[in-house]
Amino acid sequence: MRLRDVERNYYIVSHLIGQAEEEFMLVDKSIDLDFKDFFVSHKDKVYKYAYMHFRDGDLASDIVQEAFSKIWAKWDTIDAGQNYSSYLYSTTRNLVFDELRKRQVRLQYSALKQLGVEAHDNSIEDKIAYKDLEKLYKEAISKLPKCRMEIYALSKEEFLNNSEIAEKLGISVNTVREHIVKGNKFVRSYILERMSLSLALIIFFEIF
């Protein structure tokens, strides 16, 4: 990609993120400064995560607003000892999962309709399966070696890239990459041994 294209894409992304921030903050001017700081420091990562899956700036911007709206609605009730970032990223993944599931369902419905086969709504079952998968996912991570668990969490829970993790921990990018590859392999195997193949499982592996 040419430098001019990179600069143009960066401008578009920055504009959409700024637009999301402006629209969100106008919803309620009573939002406290702690939450505003939290929003400003995390919004870019949420946007990039959503954009990575959909390549749609408007949809990614909507997910940013919806994710932070959900956090704000519970801001005063979330346990002070809880990791706000993890809560945010879990909420974001749920939103991405729902959108990906809807897209898959629409594709399946269209294909079945062309074949003259009646389609069934399995959204409730898929959401239940996703909750079970989340539990297994966290269980699998807890069984990783301590160093690998920390690196894996920074990558999957805080959406840091390999370079950011390497800088944060003072290790090489290659070391980070190796730990994430081995972590992915273990987590996927752990889940596959305990869950049958389903739409929820396919989407789950796509977003983690």
pLDDT at 98: 87
pLDDT at 7: 39
Buried b / exposed e along 78-107 (16+ C-beta atoms within 10 A): eeeeeebeeebbebbbbbbbbbbbeebbee
pLDDT at 112: 43
Token pair in block for residue 130: 């996703």
Token pair in block for residue 54: 């959909």
pLDDT at 68: 92
CA–CA distance, 135 with 118 (Å, rounded to integer): 32
pLDDT at 192: 87
Please tell me the total number of residues recorded for the chain in this structure: 208
pLDDT at 81: 54
pLDDT at 150: 95
Q: Is 18 helix (H, G, I), strand (E, B) or coil?
A: helix
CA–CA distance, 185 with 195 (Å, rounded to integer): 15
Q: What is the mean pLDDT of each run of 10 residues along the chain (208 residues)?
A: 40 48 48 79 90 89 92 79 78 89 66 49 66 87 95 89 94 96 93 79 75
pLDDT at 165: 95
Count of Cβ atoms closer than 10 Å to residue 179 Cβ: 23
